[in-house]
Structure 1
Amino acid sequence: MWDRAAPAYDRQMSFFEKAWFPGAREWLGRRAHGRVLEIAVGTGRNLPHYRPGVTVTGVDLSTAMLAIARQRAADLGLAAELREADAERLPFADASFDTVVCALSLCSIPRPDTAIAEMFRVLVPGGQVLLVDHVASTWLPLRAAQRLFEQITVRTAGEHFTRRQLPLVQAAGFRIEEAERLKAGTVERIRARKPAAGGA
């Protein structure tokens, strides 16, 4: 499905991001540092927002999305390693990255708790995870509409609108450092840290 969506993905997302997720990718890019792993990198829409000095590794299941991401990295002069991999079974050793980023993707990963546990595993002690996603609204009428909408989107695209990642991040052992909800609570940004050695 994502391979088929790849050619039109950037055009479609540009509209939604302006209306629903303004500033989200800049928020991620300002906070990412060191060795960065981006989960579900897609077409590489976050790549222009990373600061100089970071090293970027990106993974995705879609070869068509990755092809676009590789071209975007080349156009930016960014030496990013972009490879096919599953968020639930990351092909990296423990403690390999300083920052893990995941934008607008845990909503469609089949087992988000498993993916978050993998993020925890590959982070160094003291490393951080940065998440942006759409979540269940804090406004009951809108949340009811989200439930109806996802009856279609879960079947057609595996995309959930009433999930919330924060409890899963906490359950995985991360310490929450920033969490904010926007757009009637339908958008959540999270920065959380893996405890340093000794639990500090």
Structure 2
Amino acid sequence: MNATPDETAKVLRAWEKTAPGYDKQIAIFERIWFGGGREWLGARAQGRVLEVAIGTGLNLPHYPTDASITGIELSPAMLARAKRRAADLGRAVDLHTGDAQALPFADEAFDTVVCALSLCTIPDPATTIGQMKRVLVPGGRLLLLDHTASTWPPIHAAQWLLERLTIRTAGEHFTRRQLPLVRAAGFEIIEVERVKAGTIERVHARKPMPGS
């Protein structure tokens, strides 16, 4: 599915509106739902790292000190907060405003691509994962963290109902699963973890080497 300009604009409006209070709003979920996920990503990131949909920069404290970090974000208001967080951490980060569905970077420019809790809102996740593959070097790492359809039917049903509102208002999905798209893009799957009744999934994949 190719995203329409209207779909992307809806997501942008939602994040611009959410940005001022985002860190406070998500704090409780960081503790009880996403706990350990950002550390998991940071422990696996290496080299030249691109974070897609960097948001307010909540992953920045967890990256290795010797990694070179580039971030891209659709919302200028979110990106401004990531810039402040990087400054507070004393961390040099190359930040860009842009669309994850059309990454403005050269082929094979990064050793690691990270995306946390964002493919659920990007209108065309398949295209985005294809873009991530394009900018990775052969053998490069793809690291994803996102919420997905629960393995427990009552929770899955509640997620589906919630989506009836959130997709319409903010383009946010709760029952998407990114793993099939990663496989379809031709990545090799290294690790998959599902936690919190299957509602959170962590994926570590690798771009194949030529001829493999």
Percent of paired sites with the same residue: 65
Report the counterpart of residue 178 of structure 1 in structure 2. 191
Choose from 167, 175, 186 the match for 1:154: 167
* 3-state SS in 1 of match to 2:211: helix
Choose from 63, 66, 69 the match for 1:50: 63
Which stretch shows the higher mean deviation, 124-133 or 8-17? 8-17
> Counterparts of 2:144 and 2:97 in 1: how far apart (Å)?
20
> Counterparts of 2:81 and 2:174 in 1: how far apart (Å)?
26
Choose from 87, 95, 108 the match for 2:108: 95
Choose from 79, 87, 100 the match for 1:66: 79
Letter in 2 for 1:42: G
* 3-state SS in 2 of match to 1:43: coil
Letter in 2 for 1:86: D
> Counterparts of 1:136 and 1:71 in 2: how far apart (Å)?
33
Deviation at 1:198, TM superposition (A): 2.0
* 3-state SS in 1 of match to 2:208: coil
Deviation at 1:75, TM superposition (A): 1.0
Report the counterpart of residue 34 of structure 2 in structure 1. 21
Q: Is 2:178 the partner of 1:168?
A: no
Q: Is 2:149 the partner of 1:136?
A: yes
TM-score (norm. length: structure 1): 0.98
1:1-27 deviation line (CA, Å, top 9, x unaligned): 211211100011111111111111111
Which ranges of structure 1 fall in alignment gaps of 5 or more residues? none
TM-score (norm. length: structure 2): 0.93
The 5-angstrom pairing of residues 76-95 of structure 1 reads: 76-95=89-108
> Counterparts of 1:63 and 1:36 in 2: how far apart (Å)?
20
Q: How many residues align?
A: 199
Report the counterpart of residue 117 of structure 2 in structure 1. 104
Which ranges of structure 2 fall in alignment gaps of 5 or more residues? 1-13
Q: Is 2:186 the partner of 1:191?
A: no
* 3-state SS in 2 of match to 1:88: helix
